[in-house]
Amino acid sequence: MNRNSVAKFDSTGFGLRSNPVASLLLAFFFSALIEAQGNGLPDRSAIVEAMKKAALFFEHELSVEGGYASSWDEATGRGFSEHRDGYAVISIQPHGTTTVGLAMLRAFVETGEALFLDGAEGAVSALVESQLASGGWEADFVFEPDFIEGRFLRRDLENGEKKAEKQRDVSSLDDDKTTSALRLLLEFVHTEGVPENESAERALTFGMNSLLGNQYQNGGWPQRFSAPFPSGGPVFAASLPKAWPRQWPNESYGSYVTLNDGNLENVMELLLRAEILTGESRYREAATRLGDFLLLAQLPAPQRGWAQQYN
């Protein structure tokens, strides 16, 4: 990995995504500002101490194996993701583990405080442990034996194990799941002052190789994937049917190229950021092919927009 590039946290890191952790840190900031300075200018040390209080609360009270749920029950401490809840659940998709990890990493960059680096390392460790054999992540992960045994993980593959019939290993780009995890790993590995972390680097390399391996010939990506798609296949512009179906087809759309929920926007941002930090031309080449797909996907007149999904 190229560790000479210092992470600059643009929109691919923090810029465009709402962040409840940042909101909490901001609340502590205002408390510190009022307490320490009244109506005057903020004192940096008071702000940093307030941020530390927030980080300690997250790391000591809310963390599960370094990861985080999306929300918690105040009375019981039970964590929630979009699809499940429990005391051992973490959410991969924002606003969970990846959101907290990026906020902690940003705090470390701005302050140099080891506490924030510890928080970022914890989130990265949770991603390493929950990475699927297909290279990406699901919406969430549960650190309990039954759940873990039901997943075919990267570590299982590297240990030479074979996927069991009922094990799941389908990675998802929906709702910024896999892309946000790779974004955190990418920023973590290339941030100045972060010690070399072989596990994080291996997870990042495996995940990015898998992402590139699942790009369609036309430049798009499926919503979900479990194995690299074969090269070749048709490449043609989008078209509208002559007659619209009168009945919902109820088809599985995991293999469809999906623009919905910003899926391809997230992929594009990740690819361009990876090219900046690594200098590897393969990321810009993949981004260019994705741009080509977006041109192909524009619908013909009179509806010159784009659809949510393409089969």
DSSP 306: -
3-state secondary structure of 232: coil
For residue 249, the model assigns a pLDDT of 81
Q: What is the mean pLDDT of residues 245-271?
A: 92
Domain boundaries, the chain: 11-233
Nearest by Cα to 222 from 259, 274, 182, 251: 259
Residue 209 has pLDDT above 50, yes or no: yes
Q: What is the mean pLDDT of residues 58-85?
A: 92
Q: Please state, in angstroms and as integers, the Cα–Cα distance from residue 219 to each residue in 58, 228, 233, 310, following that order.
A: 40, 14, 11, 12
Of 83-97, 229-243, 273-287, the poorest mean pLDDT is in 229-243
For residue 22, the model assigns a pLDDT of 52
* Between residues 39 and 198, the one the model is more confident about: 198
* Between residues 224 and 12, the one the model is more confident about: 224
* Between residues 5 and 37, the one the model is more confident about: 37
Q: Which residue has the tokens 């005057």?
A: 40
For residue 5, the model assigns a pLDDT of 37
CATH topology of domain 11-233: Glycosyltransferase (1.50.10)
Q: How many CA atoms lie within 13 A of 110 on its CB side?
A: 14
For residue 6, the model assigns a pLDDT of 38
* Between residues 269 and 46, the one the model is more confident about: 269
Q: What is the mean pLDDT of residues 34-63?
A: 80
Q: What is the mean pLDDT of residues 82-108?
A: 94
pLDDT band at 23 (very low <50, low <70, confident <90, very high): low
Q: What is the mean pLDDT of residues 90-119?
A: 94
**Token pair of 91, please?**
């959410």
Q: What is the pLDDT of residues 117-149, one digit of tens each?
A: 999 999 999 999 999 999 999 999 999 999 999
For residue 21, the model assigns a pLDDT of 55
Residue 29 has pLDDT above 60, yes or no: no
For residue 243, the model assigns a pLDDT of 87
